[in-house]
Amino acid sequence: MLAALAPFLLFSAFLLLLLVSISAPIIKTIYIFKLYANVAVGVLSADARSNARFGVWGYCVEGISVSILGQTETTPTSCSKRHLGYDLSGIIGSANGYNPRVLSKALTAVLVLHPIACGLTFLALTTSFAMLRPGTARGASILTLIFGLLATLVTTAVFLVDVIMVAVVRTKVHNESDGVIWLTFGNAVWMALGATVALWLSLTGACAGICGSSRGRYGRYACLILGLLRIAYASFFPNRRGRKAGTY
């Protein structure tokens, strides 16, 4: 049963990581973080508002809305060229002495992990389909476990790096711009979280496939890993079994 769920879980993780890997500016509605800017001048009753969405391959700046004495003008939306890593100096300029070049160094170093995680998950997904065939279940389960473990570790690192990066950058931007510029988490971060959970669950299915089809060395190792995963699950949800049985 668990082995049969592995391809479905891997497909779900692959789809989520694929969407994250082709986020803004390719898919404008999917982004890692969103930057807001609001500048107001009280003397002229003027203010300018805009926001930008940042993905793996670039960013998209929504139309800048400028309002002066009740008259509002909005510029069209524009996106950057598709490339890995980008410089924010041309987007937000310098606000109250803030240097936006600090952001590009962190982004350039970590964003390449998203397509790598997607590629590893695709390899695990390809081998997992052979787990459904009786004659190739053992070998496919071993390959799925190897590729799945690599994909799981990279995806987990991607999610953690995304969260830490956005949190640190948001704090720096808010402090150094005196609240004129601020950031929020994007939906791509939570999609990476969903892919991480799906990949960890798929490892259980791969271990179950090896454990059920082999009694050799690989089978013993798989059963050991599966047992450790079950112990970890029981530790996090100690009352789950009792509730199913009707005991509280």
Q: For residue 196, report the phi and psi dihedrals to the nearest 5 degrees.
A: -65, -45
pLDDT at residue 246 in the model: 47
- Flag whether pLDDT at 108 surpasses 80: no
Mean pLDDT of 79-98: 63
> Which residue type is seen at 88?
L
Spatial separation of the C-alpha atoms in residues 53 and 176, rounded to whole Å:
20
Q: What percent of the chain has pLDDT over 70?
A: 61
Dihedral Cα 229, 234, 236, 241, nearest 10 deg: 140
Beta bridge partners of 84: none
Residue 193 tokens, joined: 């979280």
* Cα–Cα distance for residue pair 158/116, rounded to 1 Å: 10
Instruction: Please state the rounded mean pLDDT for residues 20-38.
Output: 90
CATH class of domain segment(s) 2-235: mainly alpha
Q: How confident is the model at residue 247 (pLDDT cuts 50, 70, 90)?
A: very low
Query: Is the model more confident about 139 or about 75?
Result: 139
Q: In the prediction, which pLDDT does 94 show?
A: 43
- Is this model's pTM higher than 0.75 or not? yes
Q: Residue 184 in 3-state DSSP? A: strand
Distance CA 55, CA 111 (A): 9
Which tens digits make up the pLDDT trace of 221-245?
Answer: 556 555 555 545 555 556 654 444 4
- Give the number of other CB atoms < 10 A from CB of residue 95: 16
Alpha helix locations (H) across the chain? 2-21, 89-92, 101-110, 113-128, 137-176, 187-213, 217-236, 240-244
pLDDT in tens, 145-165: 889 999 999 999 999 989 988
* Domain boundary assignment for the chain: 2-235
Q: How confident is the model at residue 70 (pLDDT cuts 50, 70, 90)?
A: low
